[in-house]
């Protein structure tokens, strides 16, 4: 991945000037059922497009050797995001470039993967300074994740008493019409629209919501440039109520099946504010998520190199063991200002679970406290506000360039 | 680490490569629903490419410092081999060869007038190199059979690689299972397992593996592969049960060793190394006295340095048996009574199920069933 090689103050100004914009959600007719909206519907002509940058996930490294080689030079991607809402629903349209359409089905091999996208929402965002950790939330700060993968056919494992349909067709003892009927029954049992809702409190804790209490709809369509995707959901459901807010945070992720993308092999955005155009009470969140750092990034780099680099790797700083601590190479791309400040001051406020604790025993990212709570192995590093501001200003420049 | 550990010992001196275990497993678990290409139990010829192809070179496992190593996920067609079938309807029309038979007279896939042919052109499969072995016939060629199931490791590579906590090791018997409700089909487990004994099921898009026949074991029956073994090579029991033959072979007499323990996963399938092989012949076809065909370096690579001691012990026991007619180790290995090779405890599992309030024991990971984050975890439709 490309990181900043020149450390001139001017280049920091240039990158930080591209601070995230908000997504302005446009009000549409209450009579429209937004769960039925498709990517090419006219309704989107009213919406305002925002460019949201999605950065390669580099906080942890996955253990798939071939995939790691394929993804070593990943750059950031830009997605065009539109949002509309009415009194019942909110809907997003997300467009991103992808040179190849990768969909999987029951004939896919063990090393074929589907393209996909996900929309992540915090279940609580009353304090914009304390949003959930961007990677699947964090303990006490859960997120809702809506995921769609380009899957043509998929079968749930024996959940629907369809055992008779699991038999290989060659073993059915059926011929002609009987075999055709068997094939049809099997194909009817398939799921061809793979969309899921999950709730999570950090890596690995993601659990599927099966109670129908998260009402949402997703859709993906491909043309030769890339994907257009839709995600719509009720403003209020059993997990999240957006109806009373003037704005809410959203984060996006996309997967590229051609590069063996799945799970952590993805590009993701930071928290982005979605601002309802006719609702009040949006100022604090929008201000927090669009603020530009005030610190001195050049001074911050010197601080980071002495205080962070012995455990964290980033850019060309690879002094530490790679599994020692979260890799910061794209931390500026997918972190909020407030998260970075909080993590420096109070590392245990949000503890990134990181690797399975069995996978890298000598470089645990946390220990367990008396009540089983995670205590970060990172001590609070700085208390001087100026130093923190400078360091955060530098960390926010750490991100891959846009392709 | 689990409270107890179920283990298996396989006596490689007695394996005849008949694949009855493979078939027992296949008909019990893997002949349907996306598992057709999988062999949770396979018997490969060593030396050989193995199953999947060159599995020992595909990474995974842990280094000496205990760090999980990157691995490669094999391809179904190229590395496992797809089970193929034939277009039997061509037989009805007496059209066996078609018009474009190849030079050997076989019908070719995609020929203009297709005759009887495989539904996909096989390029690789399990036991593609069966009985090939190494060395020169007849002077010093050799091979032995290596039956392999999941090692139900104490420190599983698959479990450590899973980014979803979807793999768990049962506390009551150490069986390593995939919680299919949590598995998302990411396949990092396959990269993490150095034995490549966890497989991707493309039909359900999830990972599946040998379950050590836990539904059988829970009612006191041995795993299907062990029950059906005609050579009586497989012993099954708890490692902490001093009455079990597994305990006696592994702990008491220390003649059974795990396969490739250098991968650091602490496997729980143990092998009696092959001590018996014919002597080599010299260029005149005469027996070279005292020679043995299976090189000790190969055995050391598979079973570690301890293999020298084990081979010595086994040879000494054979000598002792010849002299005195007595040897507890050989009595065990001869396996006079098949039923004594298995020591499973139905009552134990019933107690566990009672304590958990589950009967039968549910194959799910209990870490996420409390419903902290989701109101309903099981049952109910999804979107």
Contact map slice: A 239-298 vs B, CB within 8 A: 262-264
- Tell whether A238 lies on the interface with B, counting CB pairs under 8 A: yes
Between B257 and A211, whose confidence is greater?
B257
Q: How far apart are CA B39 and CA B21, in angstroms?
A: 10
Which pLDDT does position A11 carry in this prediction? 46
Cβ contacts (< 8 Å) between A362 and chain B: which residues? 65-67
Dihedral angle, C-alpha A163, A165, A170, A175, nearest 10 °: 130
CB contact under 8 A, B187 and A64: yes
Find the closest chain B residue to A199 by CA distance: B373
Q: How many CB pairs under 8 A join A and B?
A: 161
Shortest distance, CA A181 to any CA of chain B (angstroms): 17
CA A241 to chain centre: 20
Compare CB distances from B188 to A64, A166, A361 and report the shortest one's residue.
A64
Which tens digit of pLDDT belongs to each residue from B320-355? 999 999 999 999 999 999 999 999 988 899 998 888
Facing residue for A361 by CB, picked from B60, B66, B71? B66
CB < 8 Å to A199, chain B: 373-374
* Interface probe, candidates A103, A110, A259, chain B, greatest B C-beta count within 10 A: A110
pLDDT value at position A192? Answer: 85
Cβ–Cβ below 8 Å for A63 and B368:
no
Contact B375 A362 (CB under 8 A): no
Share of residues in chain B with pLDDT > 90 (%): 75
- Confirm or reject contact between A58 and chain B (CB < 8 A): no
Return per-residue pLDDT of chain A as tens, 403 residues: 344 443 444 444 444 445 568 999 999 999 999 999 999 999 999 999 999 999 999 999 999 999 999 999 999 999 999 999 999 999 999 999 999 999 999 889 999 999 999 999 999 999 999 999 999 999 889 999 999 999 998 887 756 667 788 888 878 888 889 999 999 999 888 888 899 999 999 888 888 887 777 789 999 999 989 999 999 999 998 889 999 999 999 999 999 999 999 999 999 999 999 999 998 888 999 999 999 999 999 999 999 999 999 999 998 888 888 899 999 999 999 999 999 999 999 999 999 889 998 999 999 999 999 988 899 999 998 999 999 999 999 999 999 999 8
- Write the residue in A66, A206, A358 that is nearest to B164 by C-beta: A206
Task: Pick B70's closest partner by Cβ from A65, A151, A264.
Answer: A65
Best of B35, B67, B153 to substitute, by most chain A Cβ atoms within 10 angstroms, is: B67
- Residue B174's pLDDT is what? 96
CA-nearest residue to B377 within chain A is A210
Mutation site, A102, A139, A150, A157, interface B, largest B CB count within 10 A: A157
More confident residue, B105 or B230: B230
By C-alpha distance, the chain A residue nearest B82 is A109
CB contacts of A238 in chain B (<8 Å) are 375
Structure confidence at residue B60 as a pLDDT band (50, 70, 90): very high
B362/B367 Cα distance (integer angstroms): 13
Instruction: Give the residue on B whose Cα is nearest the Cα of A216.
Output: B383
Can you give the pLDDT at residue A16? 43
Asked if B383's CB is within 8 angstroms of A214's CB, the reply is: yes
Q: What is the CA radius of gyration of chain A?
A: 22
DSSP 3-state assignment of B371?
coil
Spatial separation of the C-alpha atoms in residues A328 and A321, rounded to whole Å: 13
State whether B383 and A360 contact (CB < 8 Å).
no
User: Residue A157's closest chain B neighbor by CA?
Assistant: B204
pLDDT in tens, B297-325: 999 999 999 999 999 999 999 999 999 99
Q: Please name every residue paired with A95 in a beta bridge, in sequence order, or none if there are none.
A: A80, A228
Predicted local distance difference test score (pLDDT) of residue A21? 85
> Could you tell me which residues are beta bridge partners of residue A249?
A273
pTM: 0.92
Could you give the 3-state DSSP secondary structure of residue B124?
A: coil
Task: Annotate chain A with three-state secondary structure.
Answer: CCCCCCCCHHHHHHHHHCCCCCEEEEECCCCCCHHHCCCCCHHHHHCCCEEEEEEECCCCCCCEHHHHHHHCCCCEEEEEEEEEECCCEEEEEEEEECCCCCCECCCCCCCCCCCEEEEEEECCCCCHHHCCCCCCCECCECEEEEEEECECCECCCCCCCCHHHHECHHHCCCCHHHHHHHHHHHHHCCECCEEEEEEECCCCCCEECCCCCCCEEEEEEEECCEEEEEEEEECECCCCECCCCCEEEEEEEEECHHHCCCCCCCEECCCEEEEECCCCCCHHHHHHHHCCCCCCHHHHHHHHHHHCCCCCCECCECCCCCCCCCCCCCHHHHCCHHHHHHHHHCCCCCCCCCCCCCCEHHHCCEEECCCCCEEECCCCCCCCHHHHHHHHHHHCCCCCCEC
Q: In chain B, whose CA is at the least distance from the CA of A172?
A: B32
Q: What is the chain B residue with the closest CA to A262? A: B186
Q: What is the pLDDT of residue A338?
A: 96
Q: What ipTM does the predicted assembly reach?
A: 0.92
Search chain B and give the residue with CA nearest A215.
B383
pLDDT in tens, B159-210: 999 999 999 999 999 999 999 888 999 999 999 999 999 999 999 999 999 9
- Cβ neighbours of B205 in A, within 8 Å: 104, 151, 154
User: Out of B32, B68, B74, whose CB is closest to A166?
Assistant: B32
pLDDT recorded at residue B106: 56
Which residues in chain A have their CB less than 8 angstroms from residue B382's CB?
196, 208-210, 212
Taking CA–CA distances from A152, the nearest residue in chain B reads: B203
Instruction: Say if residue B79's pLDDT is above 90.
Output: yes
Which among A104, A212, A358 has CB closest to B160? A358
Q: Give B240-301 as a 3 state SS string.
A: CCCCCHHHHHHHHCCCCEECCHHHCCCCCEEEECCCCCCCCECCCCCECCCCCCCCHHHHHH
- The residue in chain B having the minimum alpha-carbon distance to the alpha carbon of residue A186 is B33
Q: Is the peptide bond before A335 cis (omega within 30 degrees of 0)?
A: no
pLDDT of residue B330: 97
Look at B373 and A201 and tell me if their CB atoms are within 8 Å: yes
Distance (Å) from the C-alpha of residue B295 to the closest C-alpha of chain A? 32
Nearest to A362 among B66, B199, B380 (CB): B66
Residue of B nearest to A197 (CA): B383
**Closest by CA position to A203, among listed B364, B171, B166, B156:** B166
Q: Do B187 and A209 touch (CB under 8 A)?
A: no
Helix (H, G, I), strand (E, B) or coil at B21: helix
A197·B383 Cβ contact <8 A: yes
- CB atoms A358 and B185 under 8 Å: no
Partner residue facing B192 (CB), from A63, A158, A208: A63
Q: Which of B70, B205, B380 sits opposite A210 (nearest CB)?
A: B380
| pLDDT for A6 | 39
Which of helix, strand or coil describes residue B340?
helix
- Identify the CA nearest to A121 among candidates A263, A279, A236, A293: A236
With CA atoms as reference, the chain A residue closest to B166 would be A204
> Inter-chain contact A195–B383, Cβ cutoff 8 Å?
yes
**Is A262 within 8 Å of B77 when comparing Cβ atoms?**
no
Residue numbers in A near B178 (CB within 8 A): none
Tell me, yes or no, if A345 comes closer than 8 A to chain B by beta carbon: no
Q: Is the dihedral of CA B219, B221, B224, B226 positive or negative?
A: positive
The values of phi and psi at residue B78, to 5°, are -80, -35
Handedness of CA A304, A305, A307, A313 (dihedral sign): positive
Q: How far is B100 from chain A (nearest CA, A)?
A: 27
- Judged against a pLDDT cut of 70, whether residue B95 lies above it is answered with no
Nearest neighbour of A204 by CB, restricted to B77, B163, B382: B163
Whether B202 sits inside 8 A of A358 (CB atoms) is no
Chain B closest CA to A209's CA: distance in Å? 6
Residue B12, phi then psi, degrees to nearest 5 = -70, -20
Q: Each residue of B224-244: pLDDT tens digit?
A: 999 999 999 999 999 999 999
């Amino acid at each position: 991945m490309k990181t900043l090689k020149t450390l001139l103050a001017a280049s920091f100004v240039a990158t930080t000037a591209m601070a995230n914009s908000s997504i302005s959600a446009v009000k549409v007719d209450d009579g429209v059922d937004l769960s039925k909206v498709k990517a090419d519907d006219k309704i989107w002509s009213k919406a305002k497009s925002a460019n949201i940058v999605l950065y390669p996930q580099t906080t942890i490294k996955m253990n798939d050797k071939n995939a790691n080689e394929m993804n070593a030079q990943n750059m950031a991607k830009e997605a065009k995001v539109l949002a509309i809402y009415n009194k019942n629903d909110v809907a997003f349209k997300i467009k991103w470039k992808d040179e190849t359409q990768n969909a999987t089905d029951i004939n896919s091999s063990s090393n074929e993967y589907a393209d996909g996208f996900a929309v992540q929402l915090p279940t609580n965002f009353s304090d914009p300074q304390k949003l959930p950790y961007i990677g699947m939330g964090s303990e006490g700060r859960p997120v809702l994740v809506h995921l769609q993968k380009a899957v043509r056919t998929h079968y749930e494992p024996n959940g629907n008493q369809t055992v008779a349909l699991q038999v290989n067709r060659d073993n059915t003892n059926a011929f002609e019409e009987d075999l055709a009927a068997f094939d049809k029954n099997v194909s009817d049992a398939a799921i061809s629209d793979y969309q899921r809702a999950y709730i999570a409190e950090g890596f690995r804790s993601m659990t599927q919501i099966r109670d129908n209490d998260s009402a949402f709809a997703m859709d993906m369509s491909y043309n030769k440039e890339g994907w257009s995707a839709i995600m719509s959901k009720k403003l209020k459901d059993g997990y999240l109520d957006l109806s009373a807010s003037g704005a809410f945070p959203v984060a996006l992720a996309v997967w590229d099946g051609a590069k063996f993308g799945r799970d952590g092999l993805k590009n993701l955005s930071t928290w982005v504010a979605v601002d309802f155009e006719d609702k009040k009470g949006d100022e604090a969140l929008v201000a927090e998520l669009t603020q530009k750092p005030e610190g001195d990034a050049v001074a911050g780099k010197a601080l980071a190199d002495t205080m962070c680099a012995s455990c964290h790797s980033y850019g060309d700083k690879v002094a530490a063991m790679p599994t020692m601590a979260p890799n910061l190479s794209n931390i500026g791309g997918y972190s909020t200002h407030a998260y970075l400040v909080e993590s420096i001051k109070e590392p245990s406020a949000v503890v990134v679970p990181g690797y399975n604790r069995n996978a890298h025993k000598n470089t645990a990212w946390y220990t367990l406290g008396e009540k089983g709570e995670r205590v970060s192995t990172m001590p609070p590093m700085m208390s001087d506000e100026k130093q923190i501001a400078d360091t955060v200003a530098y960390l926010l420049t750490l991100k891959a360039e846009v392709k | 680490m689990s409270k107890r550990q179920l283990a298996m010992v396989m006596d490689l001196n007695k394996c005849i490569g008949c694949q009855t275990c493979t078939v027992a497993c296949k008909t019990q678990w893997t002949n349907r629903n996306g598992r057709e290409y999988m062999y949770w139990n396979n018997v490969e010829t060593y030396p050989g490419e193995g199953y999947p192809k060159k599995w020992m070179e595909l990474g995974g496992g842990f280094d000496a410092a205990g760090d999980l190593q990157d691995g490669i996920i094999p391809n179904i067609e190229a590395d496992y081999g797809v089970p193929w079938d034939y277009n039997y309807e061509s037989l009805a029309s007496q059209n066996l060869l078609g018009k474009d038979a190849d030079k050997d007279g076989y019908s070719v896939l995609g020929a203009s007038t297709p005759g009887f042919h495989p539904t996909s052109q096989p390029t690789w499969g399990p036991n593609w190199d069966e009985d090939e072995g190494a060395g020169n016939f007849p002077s010093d060629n050799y091979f032995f059979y290596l039956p392999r199931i999941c090692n139900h490791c104490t420190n599983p590579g698959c479990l450590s690689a899973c980014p979803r906590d979807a793999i768990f090791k049962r506390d009551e018997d150490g069986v390593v299972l995939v919680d299919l409700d949590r598995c998302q089909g990411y396949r990092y487990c396959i990269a993490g397992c150095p034995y490549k004994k966890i497989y991707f099921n493309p039909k359900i898009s999830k990972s599946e593996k040998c379950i050590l026949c836990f539904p059988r074991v829970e009612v006191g029956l041995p795993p299907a592969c062990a029950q059906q073994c005609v050579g009586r090579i497989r012993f099954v029991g708890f490692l902490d049960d001093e009455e079990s033959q597994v305990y006696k072979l592994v702990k008491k007499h220390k003649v059974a060793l795990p396969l490739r323990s250098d991968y650091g996963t602490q496997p729980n399938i143990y092998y009696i190394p092959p001590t018996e092989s014919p002597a080599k012949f010299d260029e005149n076809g005469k027996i070279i006295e005292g020679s043995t065909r299976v090189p000790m370096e190969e055995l050391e690579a598979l079973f570690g340095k301890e293999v020298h001691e084990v081979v010595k012990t086994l040879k000494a026991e054979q000598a002792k048996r010849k002299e005195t007619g007595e040897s507890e180790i050989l009595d065990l290995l001869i396996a006079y009574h098949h039923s004594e090779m298995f020591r499973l405890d139905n009552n134990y599992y019933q107690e566990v199920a009672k304590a958990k309030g589950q009967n039968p024991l549910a194959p799910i990971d209990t870490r996420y069933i409390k419903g902290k984050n989701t109101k309903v975890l099981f049952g109910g439709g999804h979107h």
